[in-house]
Structure 1
Amino acid sequence: MSYVVSCIDGASRNTAVCEYSAWAAKQLAAPVMLLHVLDELKTQAETELSGNIGLGTREHLLEQLAELDAQRAKVALEHGHVLLQLADEKLKKLGVSDVTQRQRHGELAENLLALEGDVRLAVLGLHGEASANQLHQVGSQLETVIRTVHRPLLLTPDTFNEPRSAMLAFDGSKTTEKGVEMLAQSPLFKGMPVHVVMVDADTANNWEKLKWAEKVLSEGGHKVHVALRAGDVEATLHQYQTEHNIDLMVMGAFGHSRIRQFLVGSTTMAMLKESRTPTLVLR
Protein backbone atom coordinates (compact mmCIF):
# COMPACT_ATOMS: atom_id res chain seq x y z
CA MET A 1 0.00 0.00 0.00
CA SER A 2 1.23 3.53 -0.80
CA TYR A 3 1.12 5.96 2.11
CA VAL A 4 1.52 9.63 2.76
CA VAL A 5 4.30 9.25 5.35
CA SER A 6 4.10 11.98 7.97
CA CYS A 7 7.47 12.36 9.73
CA ILE A 8 7.06 13.72 13.24
CA ASP A 9 9.39 14.51 16.12
CA GLY A 10 9.20 16.52 19.31
CA ALA A 11 9.07 19.93 17.61
CA SER A 12 6.02 22.07 18.30
CA ARG A 13 5.66 22.62 14.56
CA ASN A 14 4.46 19.05 14.03
CA THR A 15 0.94 20.47 13.90
CA ALA A 16 1.72 21.89 10.45
CA VAL A 17 3.26 18.57 9.35
CA CYS A 18 0.04 16.81 10.34
CA GLU A 19 -2.10 19.42 8.58
CA TYR A 20 -0.12 19.19 5.33
CA SER A 21 -0.18 15.39 5.60
CA ALA A 22 -3.96 15.47 6.00
CA TRP A 23 -4.32 17.80 3.01
CA ALA A 24 -2.12 15.56 0.84
CA ALA A 25 -3.89 12.39 1.97
CA LYS A 26 -7.27 13.82 1.01
CA GLN A 27 -5.99 15.06 -2.36
CA LEU A 28 -4.38 11.69 -3.13
CA ALA A 29 -7.07 9.54 -1.49
CA ALA A 30 -4.24 7.78 0.36
CA PRO A 31 -3.78 6.52 3.92
CA VAL A 32 -1.31 8.18 6.29
CA MET A 33 1.60 6.49 8.03
CA LEU A 34 2.84 8.44 11.05
CA LEU A 35 6.58 7.85 11.41
CA HIS A 36 8.61 8.73 14.48
CA VAL A 37 12.30 7.81 14.48
CA LEU A 38 14.28 7.44 17.69
CA ASP A 39 17.94 8.43 17.32
CA GLU A 40 20.28 5.82 18.74
CA LEU A 41 21.49 6.95 22.14
CA LYS A 42 25.26 7.31 22.15
CA THR A 43 27.38 7.49 25.26
CA GLN A 44 31.02 8.47 25.65
CA ALA A 45 31.33 6.91 29.08
CA GLU A 46 34.48 4.97 28.25
CA THR A 47 36.41 7.97 26.92
CA GLU A 48 35.14 10.43 29.50
CA LEU A 49 36.29 8.43 32.53
CA SER A 50 39.78 9.35 33.60
CA GLY A 51 42.40 6.65 33.66
CA ASN A 52 43.39 7.87 37.14
CA ILE A 53 40.12 6.63 38.61
CA GLY A 54 40.39 3.34 40.39
CA LEU A 55 39.11 0.23 38.61
CA GLY A 56 36.28 -0.44 41.05
CA THR A 57 35.03 3.16 40.95
CA ARG A 58 35.28 3.20 37.17
CA GLU A 59 33.22 0.04 36.83
CA HIS A 60 30.64 1.41 39.23
CA LEU A 61 30.31 4.62 37.22
CA LEU A 62 29.96 2.64 34.00
CA GLU A 63 27.16 0.61 35.54
CA GLN A 64 25.38 3.80 36.63
CA LEU A 65 25.77 5.32 33.15
CA ALA A 66 24.41 2.15 31.55
CA GLU A 67 21.37 2.31 33.84
CA LEU A 68 20.89 5.97 32.99
CA ASP A 69 21.05 5.23 29.27
CA ALA A 70 18.46 2.49 29.68
CA GLN A 71 16.16 4.89 31.52
CA ARG A 72 16.61 7.56 28.86
CA ALA A 73 15.84 5.04 26.12
CA LYS A 74 12.66 3.96 27.92
CA VAL A 75 11.51 7.55 28.37
CA ALA A 76 12.27 8.36 24.72
CA LEU A 77 10.26 5.34 23.61
CA GLU A 78 7.27 6.34 25.74
CA HIS A 79 7.55 9.95 24.58
CA GLY A 80 7.51 8.76 20.97
CA HIS A 81 4.32 6.77 21.59
CA VAL A 82 2.68 9.89 23.05
CA LEU A 83 3.71 11.98 20.02
CA LEU A 84 2.31 9.37 17.65
CA GLN A 85 -0.97 9.16 19.52
CA LEU A 86 -1.39 12.95 19.58
CA ALA A 87 -0.65 13.15 15.85
CA ASP A 88 -3.10 10.30 15.20
CA GLU A 89 -5.83 12.19 17.05
CA LYS A 90 -4.99 15.38 15.15
CA LEU A 91 -5.24 13.66 11.76
CA LYS A 92 -8.56 12.08 12.62
CA LYS A 93 -9.93 15.47 13.66
CA LEU A 94 -8.81 16.71 10.24
CA GLY A 95 -10.86 13.99 8.56
CA VAL A 96 -8.24 11.29 7.88
CA SER A 97 -9.60 7.96 9.10
CA ASP A 98 -6.94 5.56 7.78
CA VAL A 99 -3.89 6.22 9.97
CA THR A 100 -1.03 3.85 10.83
CA GLN A 101 1.53 4.54 13.55
CA ARG A 102 5.12 3.38 13.27
CA GLN A 103 8.09 4.04 15.58
CA ARG A 104 11.58 3.00 14.54
CA HIS A 105 15.19 3.36 15.66
CA GLY A 106 18.09 4.83 13.70
CA GLU A 107 18.33 7.71 11.24
CA LEU A 108 15.34 9.25 9.49
CA ALA A 109 16.88 8.89 6.01
CA GLU A 110 17.71 5.21 6.39
CA ASN A 111 14.23 4.46 7.71
CA LEU A 112 12.52 6.29 4.86
CA LEU A 113 14.77 4.45 2.43
CA ALA A 114 13.75 1.11 3.97
CA LEU A 115 10.07 2.08 3.66
CA GLU A 116 10.37 3.47 0.11
CA GLY A 117 8.19 0.78 -1.42
CA ASP A 118 5.29 2.01 0.72
CA VAL A 119 5.94 5.75 0.33
CA ARG A 120 3.86 7.74 -2.11
CA LEU A 121 4.79 11.06 -0.53
CA ALA A 122 6.86 11.88 2.55
CA VAL A 123 5.99 15.00 4.55
CA LEU A 124 8.71 16.60 6.70
CA GLY A 125 8.94 19.85 8.60
CA LEU A 126 11.58 22.29 7.41
CA HIS A 127 12.44 22.88 11.06
CA GLY A 128 13.26 19.78 13.05
CA GLU A 129 13.35 19.24 16.78
CA ALA A 130 16.87 20.63 17.14
CA SER A 131 15.97 23.84 15.26
CA ALA A 132 12.45 24.29 16.63
CA ASN A 133 13.13 27.76 18.03
CA GLN A 134 15.38 29.00 15.22
CA LEU A 135 13.40 30.43 12.32
CA HIS A 136 16.37 30.54 9.96
CA GLN A 137 17.60 27.01 10.61
CA VAL A 138 16.42 23.84 8.90
CA GLY A 139 16.25 20.32 10.27
CA SER A 140 19.68 18.74 10.63
CA GLN A 141 18.65 15.56 8.79
CA LEU A 142 16.90 17.29 5.90
CA GLU A 143 19.77 17.39 3.39
CA THR A 144 20.58 13.72 4.03
CA VAL A 145 16.96 12.79 3.37
CA ILE A 146 16.91 14.79 0.11
CA ARG A 147 20.08 13.05 -1.06
CA THR A 148 18.96 9.56 -0.03
CA VAL A 149 15.23 9.08 -0.55
CA HIS A 150 13.85 8.48 -4.04
CA ARG A 151 10.27 9.52 -3.39
CA PRO A 152 8.61 12.95 -3.54
CA LEU A 153 9.26 14.98 -0.39
CA LEU A 154 6.92 17.71 0.82
CA LEU A 155 8.94 20.04 3.04
CA THR A 156 6.60 22.12 5.16
CA PRO A 157 6.92 25.48 6.92
CA ASP A 158 5.84 26.11 10.50
CA THR A 159 2.21 27.04 9.81
CA PHE A 160 -0.36 25.54 7.47
CA ASN A 161 -1.98 27.31 4.54
CA GLU A 162 -3.89 25.16 2.08
CA PRO A 163 -2.04 25.22 -1.26
CA ARG A 164 -4.15 26.73 -4.04
CA SER A 165 -1.43 27.41 -6.61
CA ALA A 166 1.85 25.77 -7.59
CA MET A 167 5.08 26.79 -9.27
CA LEU A 168 7.51 24.43 -11.00
CA ALA A 169 11.17 25.45 -11.21
CA PHE A 170 11.76 24.19 -14.75
CA ASP A 171 14.99 23.72 -16.70
CA GLY A 172 13.92 21.51 -19.59
CA SER A 173 15.77 18.48 -18.22
CA LYS A 174 14.34 14.97 -18.11
CA THR A 175 13.73 15.33 -14.37
CA THR A 176 11.68 18.50 -14.69
CA GLU A 177 9.90 17.16 -17.77
CA LYS A 178 8.78 14.29 -15.56
CA GLY A 179 7.78 16.93 -13.03
CA VAL A 180 5.54 18.58 -15.60
CA GLU A 181 3.90 15.26 -16.42
CA MET A 182 3.44 14.48 -12.74
CA LEU A 183 1.82 17.85 -12.06
CA ALA A 184 -0.49 17.35 -15.03
CA GLN A 185 -1.64 13.93 -13.82
CA SER A 186 -1.43 14.03 -10.03
CA PRO A 187 -4.61 14.63 -8.00
CA LEU A 188 -2.39 16.50 -5.52
CA PHE A 189 -2.57 19.50 -7.87
CA LYS A 190 -6.12 19.05 -9.13
CA GLY A 191 -7.68 22.37 -10.10
CA MET A 192 -4.59 24.44 -9.26
CA PRO A 193 -3.16 27.09 -11.54
CA VAL A 194 0.46 26.16 -12.29
CA HIS A 195 3.35 28.52 -13.02
CA VAL A 196 6.31 27.06 -14.93
CA VAL A 197 9.39 29.21 -14.40
CA MET A 198 12.76 28.81 -16.13
CA VAL A 199 15.82 30.77 -15.01
CA ASP A 200 18.05 30.81 -18.08
CA ALA A 201 18.88 32.65 -21.29
CA ASP A 202 16.06 34.04 -23.42
CA THR A 203 16.41 31.67 -26.38
CA ALA A 204 14.01 30.08 -28.85
CA ASN A 205 14.98 26.63 -27.58
CA ASN A 206 14.06 27.50 -23.99
CA TRP A 207 10.74 28.99 -25.10
CA GLU A 208 10.04 25.81 -27.03
CA LYS A 209 10.54 23.76 -23.88
CA LEU A 210 8.25 26.07 -21.93
CA LYS A 211 5.55 25.84 -24.60
CA TRP A 212 5.75 22.06 -24.36
CA ALA A 213 5.25 22.25 -20.60
CA GLU A 214 2.34 24.66 -21.07
CA LYS A 215 0.66 22.27 -23.52
CA VAL A 216 1.02 19.22 -21.25
CA LEU A 217 -0.33 21.03 -18.21
CA SER A 218 -3.18 22.64 -20.14
CA GLU A 219 -4.23 19.23 -21.42
CA GLY A 220 -4.21 18.11 -17.78
CA GLY A 221 -6.85 20.71 -16.98
CA HIS A 222 -4.63 23.39 -15.44
CA LYS A 223 -4.55 27.11 -16.02
CA VAL A 224 -0.88 27.60 -16.94
CA HIS A 225 1.52 30.54 -16.78
CA VAL A 226 5.05 30.26 -18.18
CA ALA A 227 7.97 32.59 -17.55
CA LEU A 228 11.60 32.78 -18.64
CA ARG A 229 13.80 34.97 -16.47
CA ALA A 230 17.47 35.77 -16.08
CA GLY A 231 19.39 36.17 -12.84
CA ASP A 232 20.44 34.31 -9.73
CA VAL A 233 18.38 31.14 -9.42
CA GLU A 234 17.49 31.39 -5.74
CA ALA A 235 16.63 35.09 -5.75
CA THR A 236 14.75 34.93 -9.06
CA LEU A 237 12.56 32.00 -8.04
CA HIS A 238 11.73 33.57 -4.68
CA GLN A 239 10.96 36.90 -6.32
CA TYR A 240 8.61 35.30 -8.85
CA GLN A 241 6.88 33.30 -6.14
CA THR A 242 6.36 36.42 -4.04
CA GLU A 243 5.14 38.51 -6.98
CA HIS A 244 2.48 35.96 -7.88
CA ASN A 245 1.62 34.86 -4.33
CA ILE A 246 2.27 31.17 -5.11
CA ASP A 247 1.57 28.69 -2.31
CA LEU A 248 3.66 25.66 -3.29
CA MET A 249 7.03 25.37 -5.05
CA VAL A 250 7.97 22.19 -6.93
CA MET A 251 11.59 21.35 -7.75
CA GLY A 252 13.75 18.47 -9.00
CA ALA A 253 16.59 17.24 -6.79
CA PHE A 254 19.62 16.34 -8.90
CA GLY A 255 21.28 17.03 -12.22
CA HIS A 256 23.67 19.35 -13.99
CA SER A 257 21.47 22.31 -14.76
CA ARG A 258 21.70 25.55 -12.80
CA ILE A 259 18.45 24.92 -10.95
CA ARG A 260 19.22 21.35 -9.93
CA GLN A 261 22.85 22.02 -9.05
CA PHE A 262 21.76 24.56 -6.51
CA LEU A 263 19.04 22.41 -4.97
CA VAL A 264 21.30 20.22 -2.85
CA GLY A 265 24.10 22.22 -1.27
CA SER A 266 24.71 25.53 0.42
CA THR A 267 22.40 27.53 -1.87
CA THR A 268 19.57 25.06 -1.34
CA MET A 269 19.92 25.20 2.40
CA ALA A 270 19.93 29.00 2.21
CA MET A 271 16.74 28.93 0.14
CA LEU A 272 14.98 26.49 2.44
CA LYS A 273 15.96 28.55 5.48
CA GLU A 274 14.11 31.53 4.00
CA SER A 275 11.12 29.54 2.76
CA ARG A 276 7.74 30.33 4.26
CA THR A 277 5.77 28.07 1.92
CA PRO A 278 5.96 24.31 1.31
CA THR A 279 8.42 22.92 -1.23
CA LEU A 280 7.82 19.64 -3.06
CA VAL A 281 11.13 17.97 -4.03
CA LEU A 282 10.93 15.46 -6.88
CA ARG A 283 13.38 12.62 -7.56
Structure 2
Amino acid sequence: MKTLVLACIDGSTYAPAVCDAAAWAALRLEAPLTFLHVLSKTQEPRPADLSGSLGLGARESLLEELAELDAKRGKLAQERGRQILAAAKERAKNAGVASPEALQRHGGLVETLSELEGGIRLLVLGRRGEAADVAKEHLGSHLERVIRAMSRPILVTTAEFRAPQKIMLAFDGSATTRKGVDMVAASPLFKGLPCHLVMVGPDTAEARAQLERARLRLESAGFETPAVILPGEASSVLSQYQQEHGIDLMIMGAYGHSRIRQLLIGSTTTEMMLKSTVPLLLLR
Protein backbone atom coordinates (compact mmCIF):
# COMPACT_ATOMS: atom_id res chain seq x y z
CA MET A 1 0.00 0.00 0.00
CA LYS A 2 1.37 3.40 -0.99
CA THR A 3 1.91 5.69 1.98
CA LEU A 4 0.22 9.06 1.96
CA VAL A 5 0.42 12.64 3.15
CA LEU A 6 -2.14 13.04 5.92
CA ALA A 7 -3.27 16.54 6.87
CA CYS A 8 -5.27 17.22 10.04
CA ILE A 9 -7.70 20.10 9.65
CA ASP A 10 -10.39 21.77 11.72
CA GLY A 11 -12.06 25.16 11.75
CA SER A 12 -9.00 27.06 12.97
CA THR A 13 -7.26 29.94 11.22
CA TYR A 14 -4.41 27.51 10.48
CA ALA A 15 -6.53 25.28 8.22
CA PRO A 16 -5.69 27.08 4.92
CA ALA A 17 -1.95 26.86 5.66
CA VAL A 18 -2.29 23.17 6.51
CA CYS A 19 -4.05 22.63 3.18
CA ASP A 20 -1.35 24.50 1.27
CA ALA A 21 1.52 22.73 3.05
CA ALA A 22 -0.05 19.32 2.53
CA ALA A 23 -0.70 20.01 -1.15
CA TRP A 24 2.89 21.17 -1.66
CA ALA A 25 4.25 18.05 0.06
CA ALA A 26 1.96 15.66 -1.80
CA LEU A 27 2.96 17.13 -5.16
CA ARG A 28 6.68 17.05 -4.34
CA LEU A 29 6.49 13.49 -3.00
CA GLU A 30 4.05 12.33 -5.71
CA ALA A 31 2.06 10.82 -2.85
CA PRO A 32 -1.70 10.57 -2.25
CA LEU A 33 -3.18 13.28 -0.03
CA THR A 34 -5.88 12.72 2.57
CA PHE A 35 -7.46 15.33 4.81
CA LEU A 36 -8.54 14.16 8.27
CA HIS A 37 -11.16 15.78 10.47
CA VAL A 38 -11.69 14.26 13.92
CA LEU A 39 -14.86 14.84 15.91
CA SER A 40 -14.03 14.55 19.60
CA LYS A 41 -16.34 12.63 21.89
CA THR A 42 -18.85 14.98 23.45
CA GLN A 43 -19.46 14.75 27.15
CA GLU A 44 -22.75 13.30 28.23
CA PRO A 45 -24.99 15.92 29.87
CA ARG A 46 -24.91 15.68 33.65
CA PRO A 47 -27.80 17.71 35.01
CA ALA A 48 -28.19 18.28 38.70
CA ASP A 49 -30.69 16.23 40.66
CA LEU A 50 -33.89 18.20 40.23
CA SER A 51 -36.22 15.73 41.88
CA GLY A 52 -36.46 17.83 45.04
CA SER A 53 -37.82 20.86 43.23
CA LEU A 54 -39.42 19.36 40.13
CA GLY A 55 -41.78 16.51 39.64
CA LEU A 56 -40.46 13.31 38.09
CA GLY A 57 -42.27 14.01 34.81
CA ALA A 58 -40.76 17.48 34.52
CA ARG A 59 -37.28 16.14 35.24
CA GLU A 60 -37.60 13.41 32.60
CA SER A 61 -38.87 15.98 30.10
CA LEU A 62 -35.83 18.18 30.74
CA LEU A 63 -33.44 15.24 30.31
CA GLU A 64 -35.09 14.32 27.02
CA GLU A 65 -34.77 17.90 25.79
CA LEU A 66 -31.09 17.99 26.74
CA ALA A 67 -30.51 14.70 24.93
CA GLU A 68 -32.19 16.06 21.80
CA LEU A 69 -30.07 19.20 21.91
CA ASP A 70 -26.94 17.11 22.33
CA ALA A 71 -27.89 14.99 19.30
CA LYS A 72 -28.55 18.10 17.20
CA ARG A 73 -25.21 19.56 18.27
CA GLY A 74 -23.46 16.37 17.21
CA LYS A 75 -25.14 16.37 13.79
CA LEU A 76 -24.24 20.02 13.24
CA ALA A 77 -20.61 19.34 14.17
CA GLN A 78 -20.50 16.41 11.76
CA GLU A 79 -21.95 18.47 8.92
CA ARG A 80 -19.57 21.33 9.66
CA GLY A 81 -16.68 18.87 9.50
CA ARG A 82 -17.85 17.62 6.11
CA GLN A 83 -17.92 21.20 4.82
CA ILE A 84 -14.41 21.83 6.16
CA LEU A 85 -13.17 18.69 4.40
CA ALA A 86 -14.89 19.64 1.15
CA ALA A 87 -13.27 23.09 1.22
CA ALA A 88 -9.87 21.52 1.92
CA LYS A 89 -10.20 19.14 -1.02
CA GLU A 90 -11.18 22.00 -3.32
CA ARG A 91 -8.21 24.08 -2.19
CA ALA A 92 -5.85 21.17 -2.80
CA LYS A 93 -7.32 20.58 -6.26
CA ASN A 94 -6.75 24.23 -7.10
CA ALA A 95 -3.12 23.76 -6.03
CA GLY A 96 -2.72 20.90 -8.51
CA VAL A 97 -3.48 17.78 -6.45
CA ALA A 98 -5.47 15.47 -8.69
CA SER A 99 -7.59 13.41 -6.30
CA PRO A 100 -7.37 14.44 -2.64
CA GLU A 101 -9.39 12.30 -0.25
CA ALA A 102 -11.29 13.15 2.93
CA LEU A 103 -11.70 11.16 6.13
CA GLN A 104 -13.91 11.99 9.10
CA ARG A 105 -13.50 10.08 12.35
CA HIS A 106 -15.03 10.16 15.81
CA GLY A 107 -12.81 9.93 18.87
CA GLY A 108 -9.50 11.31 20.06
CA LEU A 109 -7.00 12.82 17.63
CA VAL A 110 -3.96 11.02 19.07
CA GLU A 111 -5.74 7.67 19.13
CA THR A 112 -7.01 8.14 15.57
CA LEU A 113 -3.56 9.02 14.25
CA SER A 114 -2.01 6.05 16.04
CA GLU A 115 -4.45 3.77 14.22
CA LEU A 116 -3.60 5.33 10.85
CA GLU A 117 0.15 5.69 11.41
CA GLY A 118 1.18 2.68 9.32
CA GLY A 119 -0.06 4.33 6.14
CA ILE A 120 1.35 7.80 6.81
CA ARG A 121 4.44 9.07 5.00
CA LEU A 122 4.15 12.64 6.27
CA LEU A 123 1.77 14.14 8.81
CA VAL A 124 0.83 17.83 8.45
CA LEU A 125 -0.54 19.84 11.37
CA GLY A 126 -1.16 23.48 12.21
CA ARG A 127 0.70 24.96 15.15
CA ARG A 128 -2.66 25.73 16.72
CA GLY A 129 -6.01 24.08 16.46
CA GLU A 130 -9.50 25.48 16.75
CA ALA A 131 -9.59 25.20 20.55
CA ALA A 132 -6.31 27.09 20.81
CA ASP A 133 -7.66 29.85 18.58
CA VAL A 134 -10.59 30.30 20.94
CA ALA A 135 -8.59 29.96 24.14
CA LYS A 136 -5.64 31.93 22.73
CA GLU A 137 -3.22 29.26 23.93
CA HIS A 138 0.34 29.31 22.68
CA LEU A 139 0.12 25.84 21.12
CA GLY A 140 -2.69 23.48 20.25
CA SER A 141 -3.51 21.27 23.22
CA HIS A 142 -3.05 18.07 21.19
CA LEU A 143 0.11 19.05 19.35
CA GLU A 144 2.74 17.90 21.83
CA ARG A 145 0.86 14.66 22.50
CA VAL A 146 0.67 13.92 18.78
CA ILE A 147 4.37 14.62 18.26
CA ARG A 148 5.36 12.39 21.16
CA ALA A 149 3.04 9.58 20.07
CA MET A 150 3.98 9.43 16.37
CA SER A 151 7.12 8.01 14.78
CA ARG A 152 6.48 9.56 11.36
CA PRO A 153 7.88 12.93 10.20
CA ILE A 154 5.53 15.76 11.17
CA LEU A 155 5.32 19.08 9.35
CA VAL A 156 4.03 21.76 11.73
CA THR A 157 3.02 24.83 9.79
CA THR A 158 2.61 28.43 10.83
CA ALA A 159 -0.51 30.46 9.99
CA GLU A 160 0.74 31.07 6.44
CA PHE A 161 2.59 28.64 4.19
CA ARG A 162 4.62 29.27 1.10
CA ALA A 163 6.69 26.78 -0.85
CA PRO A 164 10.18 26.72 0.71
CA GLN A 165 13.15 28.08 -1.22
CA LYS A 166 15.77 27.44 1.50
CA ILE A 167 15.75 24.84 4.25
CA MET A 168 17.81 24.36 7.40
CA LEU A 169 18.63 21.20 9.32
CA ALA A 170 19.49 21.56 13.01
CA PHE A 171 22.23 18.95 13.24
CA ASP A 172 23.96 17.50 16.29
CA GLY A 173 25.45 14.20 15.12
CA SER A 174 22.77 12.11 16.86
CA ALA A 175 21.09 9.13 15.22
CA THR A 176 17.95 11.20 14.66
CA THR A 177 19.70 14.02 12.84
CA ARG A 178 21.94 11.64 10.87
CA LYS A 179 18.71 10.00 9.74
CA GLY A 180 17.47 13.49 8.91
CA VAL A 181 20.47 14.07 6.66
CA ASP A 182 19.78 10.80 4.81
CA MET A 183 16.10 11.69 4.55
CA VAL A 184 16.82 15.10 3.03
CA ALA A 185 19.38 13.60 0.65
CA ALA A 186 17.01 10.91 -0.62
CA SER A 187 13.62 12.64 -0.54
CA PRO A 188 12.12 14.50 -3.50
CA LEU A 189 10.51 16.84 -0.96
CA PHE A 190 13.57 19.09 -0.87
CA LYS A 191 15.26 18.33 -4.18
CA GLY A 192 16.95 21.37 -5.64
CA LEU A 193 16.76 23.49 -2.49
CA PRO A 194 19.81 24.78 -0.59
CA CYS A 195 20.07 23.00 2.78
CA HIS A 196 21.88 24.82 5.58
CA LEU A 197 23.41 22.64 8.29
CA VAL A 198 23.54 24.35 11.68
CA MET A 199 25.19 22.76 14.70
CA VAL A 200 24.81 24.43 18.09
CA GLY A 201 27.47 23.72 20.69
CA PRO A 202 31.22 23.61 21.26
CA ASP A 203 33.37 23.85 18.14
CA THR A 204 35.39 20.67 18.68
CA ALA A 205 37.28 18.42 16.28
CA GLU A 206 34.65 15.73 16.72
CA ALA A 207 31.81 18.17 16.01
CA ARG A 208 33.56 19.45 12.88
CA ALA A 209 34.10 15.88 11.67
CA GLN A 210 30.43 15.01 12.17
CA LEU A 211 29.30 18.16 10.43
CA GLU A 212 31.67 17.57 7.51
CA ARG A 213 30.35 14.03 6.99
CA ALA A 214 26.81 15.37 6.93
CA ARG A 215 27.74 18.16 4.54
CA LEU A 216 29.46 15.76 2.13
CA ARG A 217 26.45 13.44 2.22
CA LEU A 218 24.15 16.25 1.16
CA GLU A 219 26.53 17.68 -1.42
CA SER A 220 26.93 14.24 -2.99
CA ALA A 221 23.14 14.21 -3.39
CA GLY A 222 23.29 17.52 -5.25
CA PHE A 223 22.51 19.97 -2.46
CA GLU A 224 24.16 23.31 -1.92
CA THR A 225 25.06 22.93 1.77
CA PRO A 226 26.44 25.78 3.88
CA ALA A 227 27.47 24.31 7.25
CA VAL A 228 28.30 26.11 10.51
CA ILE A 229 28.91 25.43 14.20
CA LEU A 230 27.59 28.18 16.46
CA PRO A 231 27.80 28.71 20.22
CA GLY A 232 24.89 29.70 22.40
CA GLU A 233 21.43 28.62 23.47
CA ALA A 234 19.92 26.39 20.80
CA SER A 235 16.48 27.88 20.20
CA SER A 236 17.79 31.46 20.09
CA VAL A 237 20.71 30.59 17.82
CA LEU A 238 18.54 28.62 15.42
CA SER A 239 15.87 31.31 15.27
CA GLN A 240 18.45 34.03 14.64
CA TYR A 241 20.16 32.01 11.90
CA GLN A 242 16.81 31.34 10.24
CA GLN A 243 15.95 35.02 10.14
CA GLU A 244 19.37 36.18 8.99
CA HIS A 245 19.56 33.69 6.11
CA GLY A 246 15.95 33.75 4.94
CA ILE A 247 15.26 30.10 5.76
CA ASP A 248 11.72 29.05 4.79
CA LEU A 249 11.56 25.70 6.61
CA MET A 250 13.49 24.18 9.50
CA ILE A 251 14.13 20.49 10.16
CA MET A 252 14.95 19.24 13.64
CA GLY A 253 14.63 16.28 15.97
CA ALA A 254 11.67 16.19 18.34
CA TYR A 255 11.66 15.30 22.01
CA GLY A 256 14.78 13.18 21.82
CA HIS A 257 18.10 12.92 23.61
CA SER A 258 21.49 13.85 22.22
CA ARG A 259 24.99 14.63 23.30
CA ILE A 260 24.41 18.32 22.66
CA ARG A 261 21.34 18.12 24.88
CA GLN A 262 20.28 21.74 24.52
CA LEU A 263 19.31 21.09 20.90
CA LEU A 264 16.86 18.22 21.17
CA ILE A 265 15.43 18.08 24.69
CA GLY A 266 11.65 18.32 24.70
CA SER A 267 11.42 21.81 26.14
CA THR A 268 13.55 23.11 23.27
CA THR A 269 11.28 21.44 20.74
CA THR A 270 8.30 23.21 22.26
CA GLU A 271 10.20 26.49 22.44
CA MET A 272 11.12 26.25 18.76
CA MET A 273 7.48 25.65 17.83
CA LEU A 274 6.57 28.76 19.79
CA LYS A 275 9.38 30.95 18.43
CA SER A 276 9.61 29.85 14.82
CA THR A 277 8.09 32.06 12.16
CA VAL A 278 8.46 29.31 9.54
CA PRO A 279 7.19 25.71 9.37
CA LEU A 280 9.07 23.01 11.26
CA LEU A 281 9.60 19.46 10.04
CA LEU A 282 10.02 17.33 13.18
CA LEU A 283 11.79 13.98 13.08
CA ARG A 284 11.60 11.12 15.57
With structure 1 as the length reference, what TM-score do the two structures score?
A: 0.93
Moved more, 121-130 or 267-276: 267-276
2:19 counterpart residue number: 18
In 1, Cα distance between the equivalents of 2:262 and 2:27? Answer: 30
CA root-mean-square deviation:
1.8
Does residue 30 (structure 1) correspond to residue 31 (structure 2)? The answer is yes
* One-letter code aligned to 1:45: R
CA shift digits 1:137-195 (9 cap, x unpaired): 22111001000011110000111221011111111111110001001111001001111
Distance 2:88 2:277 in 1: 22
Change (3 A) 1:275 1:49: farther
| Aligned match of 1:239 | 240
Question: 1:36, 1:127 → 2: CA distance?
Answer: 15
Instruction: Find the counterpart in structure 2 of residue 189 from structure 1.
Output: 190
Q: Measure, in 2, the Cα distance between the counterparts of 1:86 and 1:201.
A: 49
Separation in 1, partners of 2:240, 2:198: 11
Structure 1 SS opposite 2:26: helix
Corresponding position of 1:275:
276
Secondary structure, aligned partner of 2:151: coil
- Do structure 1's residue 112 and structure 2's residue 108 form an aligned pair? no
Kept after mapping to 2: 8 A contact 1:156/1:279: yes
Deviation at 1:99, TM superposition (A): 1.0
Contact 1:16/1:158 (8 A) holds in 2: yes
* Aligned counterparts of 1:95 and 1:81: Cα–Cα separation in 2: 21
- Taking the TM superposition and a 5 Å limit, the aligned residue runs for 1:180-219 are 180-219=181-220
Instruction: Look up the match of 1:7.
Output: 8
- Distance in 2 separating the partners of 1:246 and 1:278: 10
Q: In the TM superposition, what is the alpha-carbon distance from 1:255 to its structure 2 partner?
A: 2.5
2-structure distance, mates of 1:96, 1:230:
43
Judging changes above 3 Å, is the alpha-carbon distance between structure 1 residues 134 and 229 closer, same or farther for their aligned structure 2 residues?
farther
- Counterpart residue number, 2:101: 100
Shift of 1:196: 1.0
Superposition pairs for residues 72-111 of structure 1, below 5 Å?
A: 72-111=73-112
In the alignment, which residue of structure 1 is the partner of 2:147?
146
List gaps (5 residues or longer) in structure 1.
none
Alignment gaps of 5+ in structure 2: none
1:36 counterpart SS class? strand
Letter in 2 for 1:238: S
Indicate how the Cα distance of structure 1 residues 49 and 155 shifts in structure 2: closer, same or farther if over 3 A, else same. Answer: farther
Quick check: 1:200–1:229 contact (8 Å CA) kept in 2?
A: yes
